[in-house]
Structure 1
C-alpha cells in the first residue's frame, strides 16, 4: 500500500521504522581506548539537529570515529534485519547508559557512512526540547496542530511533520507516538476511534485521555543513501 508521505516513499519509511535488532555480532577489535575526560565531556552534548547530527555524530562520522570519540568498550557491532526479515544492515550500538544510548545504522558493512541514528535514550533532544518521552500536551505546543497515522498497524502513531510547525524536519526526522500500555483497557472507545491506517488530526479529542507521548525518534543523516 502506498501512503501519502511527502518526500518519503513507503519503502523508505518501512526501512526506517520496521526492522528489528538481532543479537549482537561482535567484530574483532585490535585497539583498546580508555574513556578520557575529553570523551566524558561528549556525554554532555545530547543535542539532536535533524539531518545534521546527534551530539558529536554527524553524517560523516565513521565507526573509527566512534571508537576515537567514545572508546571501544562502549561500542557493540550488530547486524539488523530489514522489513519482514528481508535484507540486513550493519549497525553499531553505543552503550552510554539508559538515557544516552543509541544505535547507528550504516549504509554498508564498511561502517563509514551512517544512514540514521535511532533507539535514542531520553536524554537526546532537539533544540525545541523534543525527545523520547515528550508528553502529548508538550508535543502539541511545539508542533502546533498536525496530522498523524492511527494506532495499531505498521506506521502506528507516525507524525506527518510536513503538516506541523516543524515541517523543515520532514525527511530528516521521524517521530512516533504511542499511548500508555493500559490505555486500551481504560479508554476502549477513545482507543478504537483512532485505530487504523488513516490520518487523524492532533486536535481529535480521542487522543487526550490515552496518555500519548513520543515513543520513538529516528534521525536521518544521509537520506540519499536509502
Structure 2
C-alpha cells in the first residue's frame, strides 16, 4: 500500500470499493460514454458526489499529495513567513498532505504572482514535517482508481492520456496538444474518421456557440457526456478541422501542462508558471485570455485560446463592474481573488 494513503482515505476506499463491486459490467468499447455502465465512470461520479455532500466528505476526497510548482519552496516549522525555515521543496517534488490548513490566509508572491492562501501541513520525501504556503503547490488526487485495479488514476497530465478500465484504444486518448492533436484527432481527421474512431453512436451533429453569440454547425463527439467536444469544419465536406471546442468541466481532457476546463484561474497560473492577462467580462470576448506572457503555455498561443468565467463571492459582486468590457487585466489585479474565476472554455486549432 502506498505511504500516501491516509487513514481517513480508507473510509472513502471502502465506499468506492462497494460501488465498484456492485456496478454492472462495462460496455466494451464505449469507454464510459452514454449508455455505458463502466465502473470507473461510476466511481468518478461517486467521488464527485461525495465531495458535494458535506464538508466532511469534501475533506475526505481532498487530494492527499501536493507537488511544488516553484523551485526552492520554503518549508517552515510553523505557519507564517517569519517562522524558522526547516527545509526546501524543489520544483516538481511531491510531498504528503497531512490534512491541516490554517484558517488565516496570508499573501505570498511566487514567480510574480500574488497568492492569498492558507498554510498547509506536509511531510516531505525525507520525512520532514512542516508548513508550506498553499500557493506554492498543486494538489495531486489520490490514486483510488489504481488502488481498485481500474487504472487511469494518475493526475499527472503527462501520464493521463488513456481512459478508464484499461481501454487502450485511440478513442481513450485525452491529451490536448494545441496545433497538433486532440487525442487521436488531427487536422485532416474527417467526420467519417470520427465515426470509425469513436463509434457511430458517439458522433452526432449540432451547433456550437461562438463569441459573437452566433451559432455554427458542428460535429459533436460524446454529446451530453463530461468528455464531450465539438468540432467545426473548414467546408461542407467535413474533411478538415477548423476548431475544436471544450466546454465541459470535470472532463478528462488536459494539455500536457495540466490546463483543463473547470480549472481555477489561480491554478492556471501554476500550470502556466507565470501570471497571465485576460479581457474584461460582459462583451464579445468576455474573459478571453489575452496573453500567457512568458509562461509555459505561451508557445501555444497561436494554436488555442481559453476563456475565464467569474464565480464571484459577495465582495466580488461589488468589484465585478470594474472588470468589464474591452480592457485587459492581469491575474494580479486588486481584488481579483474574490471573482473566483475558472477556465470555462478551451478552443484548439490544429496545424
1:137 to 251, 266, 270: 266
* 2:210 is equivalent to residue 210 of structure 1: no
How far apart, in 1, do the equivalents of 2:232 and 2:290 lie? Answer: 22
Highest relative contact order (Cα 8 Å, sep 6+), 1 or 2?
1
Q: Which runs of 5+ in 1 are unaligned?
A: 1-33
Give the distance between the partners of 2:246 and 2:226, measured in 1 at CA. 10
Task: Name whichever of 203-212 and 108-117 sits farther off.
Answer: 203-212
Q: 1:48 aligns with which of 167, 176, 200?
A: 176
Does residue 115 in structure 1 map to residue 246 in structure 2? Answer: no
Q: Which runs of 5+ in 2 are unaligned?
A: 1-26, 32-162
Normalising by structure 2, report the TM-score: 0.48
Structure 1 position 154 matched with structure 2 position 251: no
Q: How many pairs are equivalent?
A: 185
SS of equivalent to 1:170:
helix
1:184–1:195 Cα change, 3 Å: farther
- C-alpha distance in 2 between matches for 1:147 and 1:186: 21
Match of 1:105 among 232, 235, 241: 232
Give structure 1 regions of 4+ aligned residues with deviation exceeding 6 angstroms: none
Q: CA deviation at 1:205?
A: 2.4
Structure having the higher Rg:
2
1:171 aligned to which of 302, 311, 315: 302
> For residues 156-179 of structure 1, what are the alpha-carbon distances to aligned partners after superposition, in whole Å with 9 as ceiling and x for unaligned?
111123524122111201111111
Aligned to 1:77: 205
Q: Per the alignment, do residues 176 and 65 of structure 1 end up closer, same or farther by CA in structure 2, a change over 3 Å counting?
A: same
For 1:81 and 1:215, the matched residues in 2 are separated by 13
User: Does 128-137 or 36-45 show the bigger shift?
Assistant: 36-45
